Amino acid sequence: MNQDPLTDLLLDASEVDRARLATALGDILGIDTSSGRVVLKPEFNRLSARNKVLAFLLGRKVAMLLGKASSEEVAPKDISRETGIPSGTVNPKLKELREAHLVSQTNSSEYYVAPHQMLQALDELGKGAE
Does 29 map to a domain?
Answer: yes
Structural domain that includes position 18: 13-127
CB atoms within 10 A of CB 23: 11
What's the CATH number where 64 sits?
Answer: 1.10.10.10
- The pTM of this model reads 0.88
Overall average pLDDT of the 88-104 stretch: 97
Does 5 map to a domain?
Answer: no
Does 120 map to a domain?
Answer: yes
What is the distance, to the nearest Å, from the Cα of residue 30 to the centroid of all Cα atoms in its chain? 12
Report whether 109 contacts 102 (CB < 8 A): no
Question: Structural domain tally of the chain?
Answer: 1
Question: Measured between alpha carbons, how far is residue 20 from residues 3, 64, 111, 126 in Å?
Answer: 29, 16, 21, 10
Does 2 map to a domain?
Answer: no
Does 1 map to a domain?
Answer: no
Whether 87 shows a pLDDT value over 80: the answer reads: yes
Whether 1 shows a pLDDT value over 80: the answer reads: no
b/e for 62-73, b at 16 or more Cβ within 10 A? bbbeeebbeebb
